[in-house]
Structure 1
Amino acid sequence: MPLPSLSTLHTASRHFESARQVGILPSGHRSHGLHGHSFVARIRADLPAGWAPYPGAEVHTLGQRLAACTSQLDYRLLNEVLPADLPPTDENLARWLRDELVTRQQVIGLEQVGIQSTADQGVDLDRHDQAHVWRRYRFQSAHKLPHVPLGHKCGRLHGHGFEVIVHANQNTGGRDISIDYDHLDAIWAPFHYQLNHKYLNDIEGLANPTSEVIAGWLWSRLKAVLPALSWVTVYETGSCGANFNGHDYRIWKEMTLDSALFLRHAPSDDPHAAIHGHTYTLRLHLAAPLDEVMGWTVDFGDVKTLFNPIFKMLDHQPLHELPGLADCDAASLSHWILNKAREVLPQVDRVDLYQTRGCGALALVGAEGPALPI
């Protein structure tokens, strides 16, 4: 059965090393003086058919056009590159890149431009100048899940290096800064004290501390002090976690695939026409109501088990031999995976497939959910 409302976003990312001075911040602010970052620029676009030189070349072409923009920023003082009326905040860097990509690089259907100034913080700016600001935090804690079946590994006392991402959305109205990261740090500090080096089950409201329950617990407390809060993300491990926006729970499971391929529509002299390979990063996103007894939407272990036969069709395999796969480009492959996954896990409504870091395609049914760091 065909999927309803299936949409595709192509993605690309590029690194650049730059210095900046954000003079509009107070003189005592750490970013007021001259400093530098290893930035990551990332973009998402709903590209029209025929935009790339041939079908399947969208990711490569998008990356080339982004690189043409970021090369102007690499090993430069950003204050000397951006116009004088654009202090080089993350928001203004995203605006500058958005204008360059649309006007000079002719990227059609650009939906979002993100600037990740460190591994733990960034801003994603959409075409309506809505800023999605995020900041990552960590805490080391123990827990167990009291309602899992006998023998389930999560029923034993164990621990995690949890990560939390606080997401906040704000219409910038053209402002240079939407929400200062230091403001988010101040808001998070008391929560770190409550959670770090603790046994979570002993904390009021966390008797059954699944990722979903922790996300909901944090939401109800953070929203009171951060009205712009849009999502809370909890990483239980580096490859799985949960999101909550006050109404909807979403979880994801991440894995890597080592696969061979070639692109059928690439010209014979194009390197993509030859057999080559990628170590893909694949994220399955699932939306489901919370099970009030178990405290989760879907057991991460069940996701892994049910998807495993599909995983085996992809990992250490020649993708061009997959039955029913039109081509091996990231968009075609993410659609194929989404269709297959929904046969065994109907809760899957989004598949992210990156052939290199931040470069790939998203296949979606319905809402996109929060952006996660690459």
Structure 2
Amino acid sequence: MTTQRNPGLTDDITVSGSFTFSASHELRMLPEGHKCRRNHGHNYTVTVEARVHSGVSGDLSPLGAYLDANFDHYLLNERIPFHPTCELLARHLAEWFEGHIESARLISMVVSETPRTAARCDGLTREITISKTFASDLGDVTLVLGSDDLDEVGFVTDFGDLSPFAEHLRDPAAAERLRRAGPAVASDLAGWFVDVVEPKIRARLRSVRVDSRTAVGSWERGEAA
């Protein structure tokens, strides 16, 4: 667990912790033939961030105990009454946290199935966003997507097909143009995604981050966009 005092808020401290568990699931609401309908497993990472008053322990270990007792080495379909995706699991864990750890105010709950795909539930609004990281010649490119109508399927594939973006990153002509973009590369990628991919999916791009070998570039969507 880590702690961080918030500047200007002398009685407020941010605490965070990560917990892991291994489990399998079957995403039975996905289309016939989708490989994730079949039983498969993940090594999950759950990362929580919360705010506590100075002098309060901020002990997050009850969350780890809950994960160990209820999910570790289980079939998730038999443990929870909803489609066992990381998006809906993040929402469930956020609700559990607020009902069982009264000494802390939840900031965020993040559930990762793989190092490159994660779901985040906002502690205040309960909004769920998806982060998806793509490898490219530019470095790692991470998209954060949000949706106003995430339904009971609760899965990133329900947003629509993101493969055109991966293909764009692999296209030699596009890669050369992106290299010339320099610090504006994140904005360039965001513009392409909003113009080409976003109209065909059920999600809105929230941010883009490019971690190159020498620098980090980022773009974040404004409220009016």
Once the two structures are superposed, the pairs formed by residues 105-254 of structure 1 within 5 Å of their partners are: 121-123=1-3, 127-129=7-9, 131-170=13-52, 175=54, 180=58, 183-206=59-82, 208-226=83-101, 227-245=104-122, 246-254=125-133
3-state SS of paired residue (1:205): coil
For 2:167, the aligned partner's letter is P
TM (normalized to structure 2)?
0.81
For 2:85, the aligned partner's letter is T
Fraction of identical pairs, as percent: 20
Change (3 A) 1:141 1:291: same
Q: 2:182 aligns with which of 328, 337, 355?
A: 328
Asked if the contact 2:45/2:113 (under 8 Å) is kept, the reply is yes
For 1:184, the aligned partner's letter is L
Q: CA deviation at 1:212?
A: 0.9
Q: CA deviation at 1:153?
A: 1.1
1:307 aligns with 2:136: no
Matches of 1:314 and 1:185, distance apart in 2 = 48
Matches of 2:172 and 2:159, distance apart in 1 = 19
Bigger radius of gyration among the two: 1
Q: 1:285 aligns with which of 128, 144, 148?
A: 144
Matches of 1:310 and 1:234, distance apart in 2 = 27
Residue number in structure 2 paired with 1:269: none
Extract unaligned runs of 5+ from structure 2: none
Asked if the contact 1:258/1:315 (under 8 Å) is kept, the reply is no
Change (3 A) 1:178 1:312: farther
Q: CA deviation at 1:314?
A: 6.9
Asked if the contact 2:27/2:37 (under 8 Å) is kept, the reply is yes
Q: CA deviation at 1:128?
A: 4.1
For 1:146, the aligned partner's letter is R
Q: CA deviation at 1:289?
A: 2.7
TM (normalized to structure 1)?
0.51
Asked if the contact 1:282/1:353 (under 8 Å) is kept, the reply is yes
Change (3 A) 1:299 1:212: same
Cα RMSD (Å): 2.9
Question: Which string of whole-angstrom CA distances, capped at 9 and with x for unpartnered residues, describes residues 171-219 of structure 1?
Answer: x6xx5x7754xx112442123211100000001324x101111111111
* Number of aligned residues: 212
Q: 2:192 aligns with which of 321, 329, 340?
A: 340
Residue number in structure 2 paired with 1:355: 212
